[in-house]
Every structure is written in C-alpha cells, then in structure tokens.
Amino acid sequence: MKPFPSPNHYCFKEISRSSIVIVALILTILFSFSVCEKAKVSKEIYPFVKEGMWGFADKDKNIVISCKYFRTYPFDETTGLALVVHYDKLGFINKKGEEVVPLIYDVEPLYQFGFSEGLSAVKKGDKWGFIDTLGNVVIPFEFDFAWNFTNGFASVLQKEKWGFINKKGKFVVEPIYDSETLITYYTFEEGLSRVSKDLKYGFIDTNGNVVIDFIYDYALGFSEGLCAVEFDGKFGFIDKTGKMVIEPQFDEASYFNGNRAYIRQGEKFGFIDNAGKIVIPIEFEDVRNFSEGFAAVRKNGKWGFIDVSGQFVIEPKYDYVENFSENLAVVKLNEKWGFIGKNGEFLIPLKYDNAWSFSNGLAWVKRGDDWFYIDYNGQEFIEK
C-alpha cells in the first residue's frame, strides 16, 4: 500500500468506485494536497535525505540546509516556504533555513496541507485554524477539522457538521451539512459544491443556496458542465440546473476530462462522451480517467494505455500503472517500479520498491526502507 503523499505534491482526487474515495488528487487523489492549489516548486534546492534525516540540497547534492528534520517537503516558489516536520510538530522554513512559522503545530497523519491561496490550515491541540505565510494566525483555532482554501472557500467541521468559511473566517455557509461532505476537493468547482444531508446529496452555490435538491444517493463534482450522480442504484449525469442529461444506467461513473468519462456496466469498464454515447467499448477490467491524452486501462490482468479513440498506444503488460503526469507514467512490473514516456520507453528503469507520479518535476520513490525524491533524469536526492 502506498503512503500518503506530500503537501503541495498531489491533489486529492476521487475514484468513483462507489465505496472508495481518494486525494486528488489520492491520486490525481487521495497529496499537491487538499483540494490544493498546485504549487510551483523550487528548482534550486530539493528535499534531501542523509542518514535517515531530511534537509535540503542543491542539484549537485551539496547540502544547503542541514539534515535535521524527520521530513521535509519541496519549497513552494509562490510563498518561498517549505513544510518541515520534526517529531510530532510541523512548521515552515525559508531558503535560509529560518523558521518563518515555528514548529509548534501538530502533525495530523495524512493532512499536512501546506499553503493554498495564501493560507494554511493547521492544527493546535484538538482545534484547527489558519495561518498566513508570515505565521500569523488569521483565523482562530475554533474548528474540529478544516480543509485548505480552494476557490476562495474552506470547508470546516464544527460540532459534527460541515460548513464553508471565507478568508476572513466568516461562515458563508453555516455548518449544517453531514460528515459525508468530508472529502471536499470539489468545493465550488464550476460554482457549485456538493453537500450531503440526511444521507442524500445535493448542491449549493457560493451563497449557500440549495440549487440542486438532496435527492441523490451519491454525487461527484461538476466537470465540463456535468456531474455523475447515483439515483436508485444507477449512475447518470446532471447539468448545473439539475437536469438529468444522461439517464441513470451505469453501475459506476466518473467525471469528464476531455469529453471522456469512464463508466462501468457489470464487471467491465468503457468510456462515454458528454452526449452519453459509448465511444470506447465496455471491455476493460479496470480503468482510470484520461490524463494528458491517455487513459490507463487493465485488460487480461495487465495494464496499458489507450488514446481517446480507444486504441492501445502502450500495450497492456504492466502489473500496475498510474496515469501520465508531466509526460511520465509510473509503472510496476515484477515487484519493481519505474517510469515510462509516452512512447512506452523506460526513462527511469524498474529499480524502486514503490513510486509516486511526478509533480512539479519531482517524484517520491522508495528503495528498501528509504523514501526520497528523484527528478526527471533520475537524480536521487539521498545520501546513505
């Protein structure tokens, strides 16, 4: 099983197996993180591991910030800060190694966000609040949980109910919604946010008005003007007025990307366009959404990649793959992981024990007991 990825490294994402929710982001969905904004990572210094401790080094692996932390994450060029963790506390440092935000905030497994839209959700004791890039507390610690800001809003938990605040910490949508709203990486995407109430899903606008009633058993978020919803055990698609434009007929459905959304009927997967037409036959054992023009699919127990016409561009021969990200895809074969390009050739050989996709020029990989970063050239930022 993969560990949870790093802040500002992956975005939470949902895989619409009806019983599974991922971080974009897991995978691009369950770590850049949160419904996070994608940070621009520094290409000057990199998280570096030496003798099991983390610091930062330059491209030539000269250490520029001493390896004294339990974990470090890439510098965000937007803020000039990097998240660092030591023992059970986290903070943020600048490129001089100065603690701009002291390491006083609690590590919450899986939820170290980093900054998004100028603020970061942090935990202190049993409450969550928000700090700015100078370390000032700008929204008090009064929430039971908080996600980072996206599209100008943050979803927060108070007394087991979810609502939405603005950057002044004021509720724009009162906390009246159920815990099923926990994964809110679709927060006001295309102007609407899914919420749940009494085990049903609906949608609200940025003023908190219910614009699509709570009649669905499940819902994703809007993408390319449409949203997959479950009604009476079948999935269809609605538009932003709530009109059912593709009738519920699928056992599973995903979001649209490039006028393609995967669907499942029985045990097999295929793809439809936004008119509901099956454009790639329902013949695969598993699939992922399209990314960078390709979709990962599994056939006869092996993974490969197809183009938007459904033709194999990389034959199914791998035990596991992730979607293409920054023109590389992580693949697994015979218990080893590496990276291929879009022509199917290995750019980084199968030599790792685990690996995550590239984001902002870096990928997180594992060899033995060690996790560390590599760049596009396979340069390893670790010294044993």
pLDDT of res. 299: 98
Contact 115, 131 (CB under 8 A): no
Q: Position 123: which residue type?
A: K
CA-CA distance, 53 to 135, in Å (whole number)?
A: 25
Average pLDDT over residues 348-358: 98
The pLDDT-based confidence of 20 (bands split at 50, 70, 90) is very low
Residue 254 CA from chain centroid, whole number = 15
Q: Phi and psi of 181, rounded to 5°?
A: -80, 5
Give tens-digit pLDDT for 191-207: 999 999 999 999 999 99
Enter the pTM of the model.
0.85
Residue 287 lies in a domain: no
Burial 57-89 (b: 16+ CB within 10 A, else e): beeeeeeebebebebbbbbbebbebbbbbbeee
pLDDT of res. 261: 98
pLDDT greater at residue 114 or residue 140:
140
Number of domains in the chain: 1
CA-CA distance, 382 to 259, in Å (whole number)?
A: 41
Give tens-digit pLDDT for 26-40: 323 333 333 344 445
CA-CA distance, 216 to 235, in Å (whole number)?
A: 10
CA-CA distance, 245 to 5, in Å (whole number)?
A: 36
Residue 95: count of CB within 10 angstroms of its CB: 15
E strands, 208-355, in order: 210-216, 218-219, 227-231, 234-238, 244-250, 252-253, 261-265, 268-272, 278-284, 286-287, 295-299, 302-306, 312-318, 320-321, 329-333, 336-340, 346-352, 354-355
Average pLDDT over residues 360-366: 95
Burial 137-147 (b: 16+ CB within 10 A, else e): eebebebebbb
Average pLDDT, whole number, for the chain?
88
Contact 143, 126 (CB under 8 A): no
- Percent of the chain whose predicted confidence (pLDDT) is above 90: 82
Q: Which residues contact 281 (CB under 8 A, 6 or more apart)?
A: 270, 310
User: Which domain CATH number covers 376?
Assistant: 2.40.10
Q: How many residues does the chain have?
A: 384
Residue 122 lies in a domain: no
Residue 262 lies in a domain: no
The secondary structure of 178-239 as a DSSP string is -GGG---TTTTBTTBEEEEETTEEEEE-TT--EEEEEEESEE---BTTBEEEEETTEEEEE-
SS3 track for 112-155? CCCCECCEEEEEECCEEEEEECCCCEEEEEEECEECCCECCEEE
Assigned token pair, 78? 């937007």
DSSP β-bridge partners for residue 230:
218, 235
pLDDT of res. 33: 35
Per-residue pLDDT at 138 exceeds 50: yes
Residue 82 lies in a domain: no
Sheet holding 370-374, edge to edge: 354-355, 363-367, 370-374
Residue 283, classified by CB atoms within 10 Å of its CB into exposed (0-12), middle (13-18) or buried (19+), is exposed
Residue 132 lies in a domain: no
Residue 124, classified by CB atoms within 10 Å of its CB into exposed (0-12), middle (13-18) or buried (19+), is middle
Give tens-digit pLDDT for 113-133: 799 999 999 999 999 999 999
Assigned token pair, 293? 């023009």
Domain holding 343, by residue range, is 319-384
The pLDDT-based confidence of 110 (bands split at 50, 70, 90) is low
Average pLDDT over residues 93-113: 90
Residue 349 lies in a domain: yes
Residue 116 lies in a domain: no
Per-residue pLDDT at 68 exceeds 90: yes
Q: Phi and psi of 179, rounded to 5°?
A: -70, -15
Residue 325 lies in a domain: yes
Assigned token pair, 272? 């439809």
Per-residue pLDDT at 87 exceeds 80: yes
Average pLDDT over residues 80-104: 96
Average pLDDT over residues 277-302: 98
